[in-house]
Structure 1
Amino acid sequence: MTKTNEHIKRILAIIPDKPGCYQYFDEKNAIIYVGKAKNLKKRVSSYFNKEHDSRKTTVMVKQIRDIKYIVVNTEAEALLLENNLIKQYQPRYNVMLKDDKTYPSIVIKNEYFSRVFRTRNIVRDGSQYFGPYPSAYTAKIMIQLLKDLYPIRICTHPLTPESIQQGRYKVCLQYHIKRCKGPCVGLQTLEEYQDNIQQVKDILKGNLSAISKLLYNRMQELSAELRFEEAQETKEKYELLENFRVKSTVVTPNLHNIDVFSFIEHERSAYINYMHIGNGAIVQAYTFEYKKKLEETKEELLSLGIIEMRGRFKSDAREIIVPFDPEIELEHASFTIPQRGDKKKLLDLSIMNAKQFKVDRLKQAEKLNPEQRNTRILKEIQDALHLEKLPARIECFDNSNIQGSDAVAACVVFIMGKPAKKEYRKYIIKTVVGPDDYASMKEVVRRRYQRAIQEEAPLPDLIITDGGKGQMEVVRSVIEEELKLKIPIAGLAKDKKHRTSDLLFGFPAESIGLVQQSPLFRLLEQMQNEVHRFAITFHKDKRSKSQVASELDQIKGIGEKTKVLLLQKFKSVKRIREADFDELKKIVGEAKAHLIKEALQAK
């Protein structure tokens, strides 16, 4: 056993059976992983006593050269410590927190006559911050509401009792339009102004009911005192606040001071949405992403998110709504997994926001890497048809004829969801007489894959026929019974208006069920349109050549170039027949002119 293994073994022998945090170090003495555990001995030992499914975990364990641990009293303390250590050291193998730190907040500045405004910068100067808000527009609307309710100053003067007393400032337009009471010139007392600021804080915390009730009572008092103008102003504020409360309330106002967390996964990413509820209104909303590094469970990731968000926003909510048990214990807080009612509505709303965040992230990634989108769609096809591997190469077939004449077929190839036009092939039907689509399809599929086998060319991961169950069965009989190949076969069905309507798969064929206008539907529609376009274009070209074929084709010694020259000059066989010998001689020479004249006159 190496010196490193001996060192690790000694550490494992003395680690206590207590909660705490552990840190793994590499050969450069850098922290590569931080974890927390209810039982340090069991958790740390498990890394060295078993085989790991994840290759990354196996690689990480091979790099461990030293282990350190910190013992704490409870698992909740271990969780907080783990969160702080990850932030401090950002270990290579820990989950990466990805979020947008520039969401706007609303700040109440720690000033004499506090200002209230939007900001994206958090300054630790004693000011109070509320948010962050999901968009600048949301924060702007909230600021506008506050300004409509209360005459808050917007000037940036560094107001102090001395500067006001010395008369350094003058009232501005805001005073004249009655949106500020002029504290800069001593027309509003600090006590009155701070009373307004306190009500602003209550609104930002979600305590709308108390403010609404206060305004209503004040309106009644002013009305009783016959101070109707002031009563009307108070009424307008009351109605404005009530209108906002109705729009912002998602459930009954009885639900107050509650945290809501939801969790969804996609491949190696986990998306967590956080909402804080005050009096039935969403006071804070935030979604972020964790990039998985090892074999983190959903419980571990959710618990990390809960500690991160409650710490970041200093939440003291005693109830936390979650979709499943995060398997942690927090002091002075309990978890609720709702099944119905208003709390379930809150959880569903949170899940909806997490899903939207995921969709936005995937769209953003697909714009940077278009191939990622195609891979995702092909993965949908693989999952829908239960294919063994990703259908990276898809080949589609279609026939084209008019009452059996000039029968042709076409094959188009899509590689990783994109048309590979160099791989397209056209086929003239050789063995079928009359309009028999099934026999024509048999011939084409047989010819294509017999040649592919002979030339050892790549075979498709999926064959799609432009037709229903009959075409699928014909292709299957050739692929499986004649050629002994194992290639999945699907069929694209059309509706009465000859538009893509469904994807068929299996024998007997069953409908897979396509969501109209989904990315998957549009890709399959593109394939069907492309093979139909390619087949019909080839058929038109062949039919045109048949129709253009003339008496000139039957004259020995007259080739295609000579025929083109004559038709360009005379436009029709009739005019060539009527042309003088000398005219023909100038274009094709004496010998060919004799041949043409003799042949056409004989006709």
Structure 2
Amino acid sequence: MNAKLENKLKLLPDLPGCYLMKDISQKIIYVGKAKNLKNRVRSYFNGQKTGKTALLVAEIVDFETIVTETDKEAFLLEVTLIQKYKPYYNIKLKAGSGYPYIKITKEKDPQIKIVNAIKQDGGYYFGPYPNVYAAQETVNFIQKVYPLRRCHGPQKRPCLYYHMDQCLGACFKEVDQAEYAEQIKKIKSFLNGNVQTVKKELTQKMEAAAENLEFERAAEIRDQIKYIEITVEKQQIISNDQTPRDIFAFYHDKGWLSLQIFFIRQSRLIKREKRLFPCIADPESEVVTFILQFYNQKNRMLPKEILVPASLEKDILSDILQIPVRTPQRGQKKALLDLATKNAKIILEDKFRLLALDERKTIGAMQEVMTALDLPMGHRIEAFDHSHLQGVDLVSAMVSFLDGRPSKSDYRKYKLKNVDHADETASTREVIYRRYRRLLNEKQALPDLILMDGAQIQINAARDVLENQLGLQIPVAGMVKNDQHKTADLMKPDGTKVQLDPKSEGFYLLQRIQDEVHRYAITYHRQVHSKNSLTSRLEQIPGVGPKTRIKLLKEFGSLAKIKAAPLSEFKKLGISEKVAQTIKLSL
């Protein structure tokens, strides 16, 4: 521990608040909360640490604290700081983990629809539903049995849905609001799980249709009853009340936390989520933070009740979320909580061996590469490569690897603007400047290492731009290939080659990065070259101006598709038959 850390630890207050751990580049890598900042922060540096906590402590070179008035304020501040800084060692929620809801709109002529977000607009929301398909099928069924408005506005005559008895006819007439109210009452009852009444009504209608020899109508109603049995009643009843509730349970072992979430809707278990992540602080604190983040998403609707283990701080959760947070002591709710805990334990025990293997291949490989270059442990590598065809259509590409895994959402492609011939140095200078000037402007996190798919020339060019134009100190190394054009060595900035064991995970990671950035650059170059070639061919055809070329490129995208297209397709684009025939003949 450095002297600066020791002195700051002595000055910590005996007060609640949040602490922010920083690495060598002053990047925030962990945010935590504490009832007593002095005791909590000091605990990281006392005694032997294992697992992720040991890795975290090894990277901490500084920290700062924010004092709050109460524990509740510390909880709320922690959630805000995690979402703002997205620290590497904190719990991260996967994007897009929300579910769709069914909504009855609040307007003169209500509609029923599927939405992804909850708004304070007076509408009635039901859900969440496990997937869009299930929600859509439920809405389709309701629209057949209890129709509301299907059309988009007033029309001169009834819409098709009105003739199919799937719309009340607001498109052409005034519908009694009492009729809407009755339909909405039935829909609410159905979505709250009261399906027996619906089945009874449908059965009576089916029998009446059969007696009147309306067999097609009877068959249609029979199918509707079957749909209820298959989809709506598919889940077994697991409780005696209709209260929407979520259940959180966890199991902690060897520095890892396994979390299970049960979603109870309409007395049924409609969805289960599982999460598995390393645990830095005490597990109870991590779970509480997770729950607060979980419901802080814009498309997440709170249930009427949350059930959690007794060890969690229920009062704080309930106070912040403004709903009851309880620990059941007996009965069905206790059995469900126990079942969730059992599942959490099974998941964690099953994953331990896989996690060990995965860490060796990813984080372990990353550590091996950084150590070989005499660098402190990092998490993100960005690699660059250039591609062209005899100096034409110059492009560059960048791939990003986070802890040994490709982070494809962070990949970037570049059309070079200032380079018009094959020049590795100029290409490197342009793409490095554009990439990291933008990260600085947008105040985004910088990588821990930059790899160039080339040797000393590209390394020097990249370092010159970073240090002298952008004022950045990001380590740069090269990926060197052998005579067979295969990955061989790493090259340090001073030109020294570093040999990795060809059978090591670090070498496999280097190989994956080099192959991936080369593939990405080549693929992009082919796309650009193909488009430019098509544009060039079209420019040579008499009567085809810039506007026509743009239309053809947007619609067809390739010579093969233009050749195969019938003349009628050209006519739809506003191209005359004469010009269309000229294009076909020219190609």
Q: Which bin holds the TM-score, normalised by the shorter protein?
A: 0.3 to 0.5
Q: Structure 1-normalised TM-score?
A: 0.45
Q: Structure 2-normalised TM-score?
A: 0.46
